[in-house]
Amino acid sequence: MFPVLDAKELEKKIAELETVEHWLKANLNMLQLSIKSLEYQRQMVKGGERMKAAMEEGRAPEPAGEEVPNPALWAWNMMAQAGTDAAEAMGRAVEAAGEAATEGAKPKPRARKKK
| Cα 37 versus chain centre, distance | 17
27-37 per-position pLDDT tens digit: 999 999 999 99
33-56 per-position pLDDT tens digit: 999 999 999 888 888 888 788 778
Q: Which domain holds residue 16?
A: 9-34
108/15: higher pLDDT: 15
Q: Is residue 4 part of a domain?
A: no
Q: Look at the chain and report how many structural domains it folds into.
A: 1
Q: Is residue 62 part of a domain?
A: no
Q: Is residue 81 part of a domain?
A: no
| Structural contact between residues 32 and 14, judged by C-beta atoms closer than 8 angstroms | no
Q: How many helices (H) and strands (E) does the chain have?
A: 2, 0
| Structural contact between residues 88 and 74, judged by C-beta atoms closer than 8 angstroms | no
89-114 per-position pLDDT tens digit: 888 888 888 887 777 665 555 656 66
| Structural contact between residues 29 and 82, judged by C-beta atoms closer than 8 angstroms | yes
